[in-house]
Structure 1
Amino acid sequence: MAVAAGIAAAQPAPLIALRGKAIQGGWMRGQAPAGTTALLLDGKPVPLAADGAFLIAFDRDAAPQATLVAQRSGLPDLVQPIAVAPRAWAIQNVNVALRPPGLPDAEFQRIRAGELAQIKAARAQATDAQGWRQAMLKPAAGRISGHFGSQRIYQGQPGAYHSGTDIAGGAGAPILAPADGVVVLAAETPFTLEGHLVILDHGMGLNSAFLHASVLKVKVGDRVVQGQEIARIGSTGRATGPHLHWGLTWQGKRLDPELFL
């Protein structure tokens, strides 16, 4: 009996169940151990569903190692290091101005500040959407014409890296919800850069943004299901032609949409 107890005591603590790929711009789903009261990724809280399921993700510029901690009632914390694989990013030259032409810099900054505030407020909303649990669908038919993470050079002027996936689906083609969600932003008046913009919250801090639409088919507060039409492809805002720019974020981290398909 003493020997059996000694063997049991020597067994390692259970790991936090994870599936997915730990890579820059990538994601993992997991199941928290029984008794978990809080989950932390690099010291920041991770939303935890009632059944213990969760989602974590890694920014485009994530450090090579992350630490996931499960705090458990009456038990020691369970600490799991995660090695995050690096990626090489491409450089793209785009023959379009960094800012919309004809708009004075001060006026652009004033308008842009208001637009960014709306986007930030939308992404801060937490809904009970369950799309984060689903395998996502490609939101539009067509060739992928721009990949996440590449840096764009606008007529010789460096800009921010490309924060999503571009799909050349053709003007007027439908844009579909890649997963269930709640509409938290629907820009009827085109934004200077994004044009007609829709943001869907998929729950647990994960949301999708759909840029440059010609027509919106949803409004704020609408609940949509995977595969439902939410807009039509256009070239509003700063765009070189009709296409969909699909962006994904999780708790402010920018993710690679192609890794969710």
Structure 2
Amino acid sequence: MPGAIAAAAALSLNASAWGQCVTVQGDPVEGGLIWAKVSPGETVRLDDRSLPVLPNGYVVAGFHRDSPALSVLKVGADCELELRVAQREYRIQRVEGVPQRTVTPPKEQLERIRRERQRVAAAKAKLVERPDWLMQIDGGFVWPVEGPISGVYGSQRVYNGKPGSPHYGVDIAVPTGTAVYAPAAGQVTLAEADLFYSGGTVILDHGYGLSSSFLHMSAVTAKVGDELAQGDKIGEVGATGRATGPHLDWRMSWQDRRVDPQRLVPPMALDDETPAAK
């Protein structure tokens, strides 16, 4: 998996007689995913969060943008593993003199924004079981569209001295109408033509709490309930919602944590010439 490392290199075993009681794989870094196999029905926790165990015994977890440098994975009553989560540097851009109306949405739109956020949260809360889930996250994702990368995970703008929300996706700048394809198999849980912030939006659930969101599209061709294979068309690139130009904003979530799509795909040929996440 590009960007992933052997998890053992970033793990520190708790000093105990248990030894390495569980093997963790994946990418223990801010914005990364990890997974491990345990006995089906076992109790697993990551810090204060209970992790669902898949029917085949796998558990998955994601680390958000500002995760602490140390997390503890507990399996059952007698297994505890310390995970050292690699910290990242993020680009911060300060912008002064921005008209306030472009930073804060008008009051008449606040109720619409609230309703749309509820629909998005409900779509991401669904638990979709997929037998191909592990194969996908272990190096099976492809880019939904290829082109210059104009924005990366974790970057942030400070408007008039007030920090804006961090950017949680990867922006790919390509012309309006460019086809967007499923980076991996999944079920469509949301398909909206015009959300206030994200415009044409599709959420594709890859299974067990891992989902992709595709924003600012000019056309949405997928429908809620569609079962898509990797490479099936989702929609077309646009500049809808709050966008300043045509691009695809691809985001990924594990449960309520935002993870970095770039850590699940191979590099594009253009990556050496465009901004890259550290």
**Structure with greater strand percent:** 1
Question: 1:23 maps to what in 2?
Answer: 29
Pick from 136, 142, 145: which aligns with 2:141?
A: 136
Residue 89 of structure 1 corresponds to 90
TM-score for the superposition, normalised by structure 1: 0.86
1:224 matched to 2:228? The reply is yes
**2:92 aligned partner, one-letter code:** I
In structure 1, C-alpha distance between the alignment counterparts of 2:40 and 2:202, rounded to whole Å: 38
Q: State the match for 1:246 in structure 2.
A: 250
Q: Aligned partners of 2:40, 2:261: CA distance in 1, in Å? A: 33
| Mapped contact 1:47–1:205 kept (Cα < 8 A) | no
Is 2:206 the counterpart of 1:202?
yes
2-structure distance, mates of 1:77, 1:11: 10
Residues paired across the two proteins, number: 245
RMSD (Å), alpha carbons: 2.4
What is the rounded CA distance, in whole Å, between the counterparts of 1:161 and 1:51 in structure 2?
Answer: 35
| Counterpart position of 2:80 | 79
Residues in 2 aligned to 1:253 and 1:98: alpha-carbon distance in whole angstroms: 29
Q: Give yes or no for contact 1:36–1:70 (8 Å, CA) kept in 2.
A: no
1:236 aligns with 2:240: yes
Deviation at 1:93, TM superposition (A): 5.6
Structure 1, residues 78-132: CA drift from partner, whole Å, max 9, x if none? 111101111111023679867669x972212111111111111111111123564
Partner of 1:61: 66
Give the aligned residue type for 1:147.
V
Matches of 1:40 and 1:109, distance apart in 2 = 36
1:164 is aligned to 2:174: no
Q: Structure 2, unaligned stretches of length 5 or more?
A: 1-15, 266-278
Matched AA of 1:226: Q
Contact preservation (8 Å) 2:218, 2:236:
yes
**Cα gap change, 1:97 to 1:210, in 2 (>3 Å):** farther
Secondary structure (helix, strand or coil) at the match of 2:112 reads helix
The whole-number CA distance in structure 1 between the counterparts of 2:120 and 2:174 is 25
State whether residues 97 and 154 of structure 1, in contact with CA within 8 Å, keep that contact through their aligned partners in structure 2.
no
Q: Between the two proteins, what is the percent identity of the paired residues?
A: 37
CA contact (8 A) 1:98 1:157 kept: no
Q: TM-score, normalised by structure 2?
A: 0.81
- Residue 17 of structure 1 deviates from its aligned partner by 1.5
- Give secondary structure in 1 for the equivalent of 2:43: strand
Q: Which has the larger radius of gyration?
A: 1
